[in-house]
Structure 1
Amino acid sequence: MEDVDRIKKDLEEQTRLAEERLERLKYLQADFDNYRKWSEKEKTAIIALANENLIKDLLVILDDFDRALPSLQAEENREGMGMVYRKLLKILGEYGLIPIECVGKKFDPNLHEALCREECDREPGVILEDFGKGYQLRSKVIRPSKVKIAEHVSRKEGEENG
C-alpha cells in the first residue's frame, strides 16, 4: 500500500512538473511569436525608411525634368526626355510616390507650404500657384507643395466710390 501511495505521489509530482513546463513552453512560444512579429515590423520600417530616403534624393531629378522639359520645345530629344521622365514617375509611383495636386484647391497646412499671398477676388485660402511640387509617399508627406494662396481683398469705404 505504501508503494502505491508513493507512486501516486510521484505521479502527481511529475504531472505538476509536466504542466509547469508546458506552461513555460507556451509562454516562450508566445514570446518568440511576439519577437518574430516585432522583428518583421522593424524590418518593414527599415525598408520603408530606406525607400523614403532614396525617393527624396530622386525628387531632385524630377525637379530637373520639370524645369528642363518646357525649355526643350524645338529639341528633337524632347520626346525621349519626356518618356524617361514618365517612366521615372511610373516607377516611383509603384513605390507609393504621389504628386500633391494643389492649384485651385483649398490650402491645407499638412500638404502645402504657403510662400506668399495675393489679394484677389477668389475665395480666401485657394491656391493660385504652385512654386514647388510636393509629394507624398503613400499617406506621408515627404515634401509639401510650395504655393501662393488667395487672400480676400478688403475694400475700404472710400475706394468703392472712386
Structure 2
Amino acid sequence: MASVASRWARLARSPLCRWTRGPSATFSTAAQRSTGDECSSDDPPSPDEPGHSLALRNLQHRAVKLEAEVRDLTERYQRALADSETVRRRTQKFVEDAKLFGIQSFCRDLVEVADILEKASDSIAGEATPGDQKSALEKVSEGLALLEAKLQSVFAKHGLQKMAPIGGKYDPYDHEIICHVPAEGVQPGTVTLVTQDGYKLHGRTIRHAQVGVAVESQE
C-alpha cells in the first residue's frame, strides 16, 4: 500500500504530469476566453449567412423611405419659398399703391377748386366792358389764368392730370355720357363736348369726364 502511494507521488512530481496540467489549463482558459469573445462580438454576419440579406433589405427599405421623405420636404420647401415670394410681391405692390394713391381724396377736393377757377376765368374773359373796368377785368382774368396754370402744374407734379377727351373715342372707363350730339363730320362714338373735366392720378381715373358723344342722326 505504501509503495503504491509513493509511486503516485513520484508520478505527480514528474515533468510529464506538470506539462500536461499547465498547457491544458492554459489552453482551456484561452479557449474559454476566445469562446466568450466570439459570443460577445458585435461584428455583422458574413455575406453568406441568412441574417446578412435580411439586414441588407432593411437598410435598402430605410434608404428608400428616407429618399421619399427628402423629396417631400424639398417640395414643401420650394412651395413655401414660392408662397413667401408671392406674399412679398403683393405686400410691395400694396405699399407702392399706398404711396401713389394716398392723396387721392385730397386731389379730388382740389379738382373742385380747379373747376371754380376755370369757370371764373372764362366768365371774366368773356365780358366786354369799356374803360378802366375792362382793363381791371383783363388783369383779373390774367391773374386767374396764371393761378389756374399754377394749380395744374401742382397737379402734374403729384401725378394728377386733366383729361383731354375731345376728338377721341368714348371710353367708359374714363368718360361719362351726359348727352348725345349729331355726328356732323365726325365718326359716331367720338367725344365732341365736355361739360366737366375728368382727372387721372398716376394713370388711374379718379373722376370721369362728363362728355357728349356723337351719334348718327335719326331721320
Q: Secondary structure at the match of 1:72?
A: helix
Partner of 1:64: 116
TM-score by structure 1 length? 0.67
Structure with the bigger RCO (C-alpha within 8 Å, sep 6+) is: 1
Does structure 1 residue 111 correspond to structure 2 residue 174? yes
Structure 1 residues 33-60: Cα deviation after superposition (integer angstroms, max 9, x where no partner) = 9988776654433333321111111001
Structure 1 residues 12-32: Cα deviation after superposition (integer angstroms, max 9, x where no partner) = xxxxxxxxxxxxxxx9xxx7x
- Point out where structure 2 has 5 or more consecutive residues left out of the alignment: 1-79, 126-133
Greater C-alpha radius of gyration: 2
Q: 1:47 aligns with which of 73, 90, 99?
A: 99
Amino acid at match of 2:96: T
TM-score by structure 2 length? 0.51
**Contact 2:160/2:200 (<8 A) preserved:** yes
* Aligned residue pair count: 128
Root-mean-square deviation (CA, aligned residues, Å) is: 2.6
Amino acid at match of 1:55: C
- Point out where structure 1 has 5 or more consecutive residues left out of the alignment: 1-26, 156-162
Cα distance in 1 between the residues matched to 2:198 and 2:211: 10
TM-superposed deviation, 1:146: 0.3
Cα distance in 1 between the residues matched to 2:166 and 2:118: 16
Amino acid at match of 1:46: A
- Report which of the two has the higher share of helix: 2
Q: Percent identity among equivalent residues?
A: 23
Partner of 1:13: none
- Report which of the two has the higher share of strand: 1
Q: Secondary structure at the match of 1:69?
A: helix
Distance 1:68 1:36, change over 3 A: same
